[in-house]
Chain A
Amino acid sequence: MGWAHRKDNVPDANLAMPELPLPNVVGAQVGPPSFESVYRAHGKTVARWAIRLLGPRGDFEDVVQDVFMVVRRRLPEFRGDAEITTWLYEITVRVAQRSRLRARWWSWVTGRGQSPGRGRACETFVPAAEMPSDPQAILEARERTRLLYQILDGLGQAERTAFILFEMEGLTGEQIATITGASINAVWVRLSRARRKFLDRMRAWEAEEQP
């Protein structure tokens, strides 16, 4: 580095020092992004989260639509204090919880719920990359998915959400606390209860299945 601190040593005349770009605070960095760009960039991810949170019986399209209705309404208030994905996750979790409550209420009022394998919902789950792709294996995996969500349906709303986010989505406790707006201690308590209930219900199912 022999040229250090020598002003006359800018090597290329064509490579003159650029002016720094204007800090386009409102447009780019600080101001909220446009609704269309958020939808294009994160629509698929939100849909995946919604499917995960709802399970095979939920209508994820409705939830995604509701999530982006909220996003459109609240985007001007988004100040970028948190990552936009965290913000979207938070909205998705709330909308999915509301959707499940609505479905439960509807099922209670009408006296009949959706059948587990009805409609387009089953197509929203696919085998993981490392899974075998033969029809028998897929059928078994589908049955396991149905059972998994059947067990999860016996958990309370908050416990179910904590369980899914931790065990299935692989989020950390801090992330779950941020998304659900709960303290970290509350998250661990919910998770601990959810795990206990999950194991109890799984054992009960196994006892019923075994002759």
Chain B
Amino acid sequence: MKKYTADPEPRFRDRDKSGALPEDRAGALIRGALVPAEPDAVQLARIERNLHARGSVGGRSPRVLRLGLAALFLVLGAATVKAYELARDAGWLRHDRGAVSPSEKPGATKPNKRSAKTAAPARIPSETEVPAPAIQPLPATPEGEPGPDNAAPEGARKPPRPVRRAALAEIPGNAATAIPDPWQPQQAVVPPAAAAPIAVKAPVLTASQPAAAASDEIRGLDRAVGLLRRDRNAAAALAAFDSYLERYPHGVLNREARVARIDALLMLQRTNAALAALETLPFDSGRRSTELQVVRGELRARGDCAGAERDFSAALSHTPDAGLLERIWYGRGVCRSKQGNQSGAAEDFRRYLERFPEGAHAAWARRWLETTDKSSTTGG
């Protein structure tokens, strides 16, 4: 299969404006079309109002509605089947049985599938079979005594079975698995001596048990994360995370739980506990991991500036995004300055200002650089 690695061709709209090729004409069509307008404040306000209105109703999830609909269809289906069975038992559908099928009529050549099913007993006689009687007025039968009216429907359902069983039994290798016929006198089933032993697989227990445990574990963590993210209840979430980590110390979601627990600790302003938790967390080069390393640097900066600087520098080597970069340069600059490395701090603050001239700490960094420069020229 052909692999595409880059944009295959220039866009239609970037093609030659004076060209006559179909691609050029397509480009002209796209270029000449109108562009989407931004909605005005009235439209946005209307949408927001509708959103609030829909939210106040309860914001019922479409998933709930879908489940409700599925349940409704299931109930309707089951009710239809039950109604059919009741109608059949009540005899309302009995007129179908024993009716003369088209294939039995003189001149009929093509048997109908449906009538063939109902009229099967008449065409496949067997030793146990009572032929289905033709419809005719019957004399009254004493209750409990098997009369033609009671026997015919039973007989009409039973006969095909011996035929199928016999056919099954004739298949080589099926003798051992042949089902005993309840309509035949019971015989002792003796397995043939030469029959190969049937290999029965031992039940596999590895699939269900760990799956159930994993689902328990996921449920436990999901509840804790819900408390933190949805309910914003950090204290309850922290208790839930602690309980989870105690219960599943080596769970598959252990790292996720530990990271979310740190969020809960920070939400509760328990910075020392958060730092302690971060000290034991391994980092990789992922975005989330880099962010946690920056967080650790910011927490360490309060007492251990050298450690904080190491964290910021390590995070910087993982090509962080703009949000993290801003925090890293500012944080490392402050830490370097606190350690007396003013040139390093100045370098960080300059980089910060180049990239984030309107950043949250830009005014402060600018003022620091100005006064530092002044001081260095007068003092040095």
Given A3-B379, A125-B34, A140-B32, the answer on whether A68 and B47 have CB atoms closer than 8 Å is yes
When distances are taken between beta carbons in the complex, the residues of chain A under 8 Å from B12 are 167, 195
Chain B count of residues within 8 A CB distance of the other chain: 81
Task: List chain A residues, Cβ under 8 A from B38.
Answer: 44, 47-48
**B228 in the interface, Cβ–Cβ < 8 Å?**
yes
Complex Cα spacing A46 to B46, Å: 15
- Bound Cα distance A125, B32 (Å): 12
Which A residues from 28 to 68 make CB contacts under 8 A with B? 29-32, 39, 43-44, 47-49, 51-52, 60-61, 64-65, 68
Contacts of A144 in B (CB 8 A): 29, 32-34
A114 at the interface (CB under 8 A from B): no
**Of the residues B8, B36, B299, B339, contact of A52 by C-beta under 8 Å:** B36
Q: Which 10 A-B residue pairings sit nearest by Cβ, starting from the closest?
A: A2-B380, A11-B375, A125-B34, A51-B36, A188-B4, A7-B340, A4-B343, A126-B37, A12-B371, A26-B267
Taking a contact as CB atoms under 8 Å apart, the answer to whether A15 and B7 are in contact is no
Interface size counted on chain A using CB atoms at 8 A: 80
B103 in the interface (beta carbon within 8 A): no
Q: Which residues of chain A are within 8 angstroms of B271 by Cβ–Cβ distance?
A: 22
| Cβ contacts under 8 Å, B50 to chain A | 61, 65
Contacts of A4 in B (CB 8 A): 341-344
B3 CB to closest chain A CB (Å) equals: 6
Knowing A2-B376, A5-B341, A72-B55, say if A126 contacts B266 (CB, 8 Å): no
Whether B229 lies near A32 (C-beta < 8 A) is: yes
Interface residue B149 (Cβ < 8 Å from any Cβ of A) = no
Determine if B338 is an interface residue (Cβ-Cβ < 8 Å): yes
Query: Which of A1, A7, A147, A206 is the one whose CB lies under 8 Å from B376?
Result: A1
Partner of B43, one of A7, A29, A61, A140: A61
Shortest CB-to-CB span from A105 to chain B, Å, is 16
The 8 Å CB contact of A124, one of B13, B36, B228, is B36
Contacting pair A192 B8 (CB below 8 A): yes
Q: Which residues of A contact B7 (CB under 8 A)?
A: 172-173
Q: Does A184 reach chain B (CB closer than 8 Å)?
A: yes
Which one of A10, A24, A60, A191 lies within 8 Å of B266 (CB-CB)? A24
Residue from B26, B262, B269 whose CB has the most chain A CB atoms within 10 Å? B26
Name the contact of A22 in the complex, choosing from B37, B55, B269 (C-beta under 8 A). B269
Given A1-B343, A2-B380; A142-B26 close (CB under 8 Å): no
Which of B122-130, B175-183, B290-298 sits within the interface? B290-298
A6-B342, A18-B334, A148-B30 as given contacts; A185 in contact with B3, CB under 8 Å: yes
- A191 and B44 contacting across the interface, CB-CB below 8 Å: no
Pairwise interchain contact A188-B8, C-beta atoms closer than 8 A: yes
Whether B25 sits at the interface, judged by CB under 8 Å, is: yes
How would residues 159 to 201 of chain A score, 1 for a CB under 8 Å from any chain B CB and 0 otherwise?
A: 0000000111010110000000000110011011001001100
Q: How far is the CA of A138 from the CA of B343 in the complex (A)?
A: 59
Give complex CA distance A52, B38 in Å: 11
Q: Is the beta-carbon distance between B342 and A3 smaller than 8 angstroms? A: yes
- A residues lining the B interface (CB < 8 Å): 1-7, 9-12, 15, 17-27, 29-32, 39, 43-44, 47-49, 51-52, 60-61, 64-65, 68-69, 72-73, 76-77, 79, 81, 123-128, 131, 138, 140-142, 144-145, 147-148, 166-168, 170, 172-173, 184-185, 188-189, 191-192, 195, 198-199, 202-203, 206
Binary flags per residue of B7-37, CB closer than 8 Å to A gives 1, else 0: 1100111000000001101100110111111
Closest A residue to B54 by beta carbon equals A69
Residue in chain B with minimal CB distance to A168? B30
Residue of A nearest to B23 (CB): A199
- Which single member of A2, A69, A206 contacts B59 (CB below 8 Å)? A69
Minimal beta-carbon separation of A143 from chain B (angstroms): 9
A25→B263 CA distance, assembly (Å): 6
Can you list 30 A-B pairs, Cβ within 8 angstroms, ordered by A?
Answer: A1-B346, A1-B376, A3-B343, A3-B372, A5-B341, A5-B343, A7-B340, A9-B379, A15-B371, A26-B263, A26-B267, A29-B291, A29-B327, A43-B39, A48-B39, A60-B39, A61-B43, A61-B46, A72-B55, A81-B287, A123-B37, A124-B36, A125-B33, A125-B36, A138-B34, A144-B33, A147-B29, A148-B33, A184-B5, A206-B25
The docked-state distance in angstroms from the alpha carbon of A125 to that of B33 is: 9
- Asked whether, in the complex, the Cβ of B334 is within 8 Å of the Cβ of A126, the reply is no
Inter-chain CA distance A119–B130, complex, in Å, is: 74
Which residues in B have their C-beta under 8 angstroms from that of A17? 334, 337-338
Contact partner, A167, options B30, B35, B226, Cβ 8 Å: B30
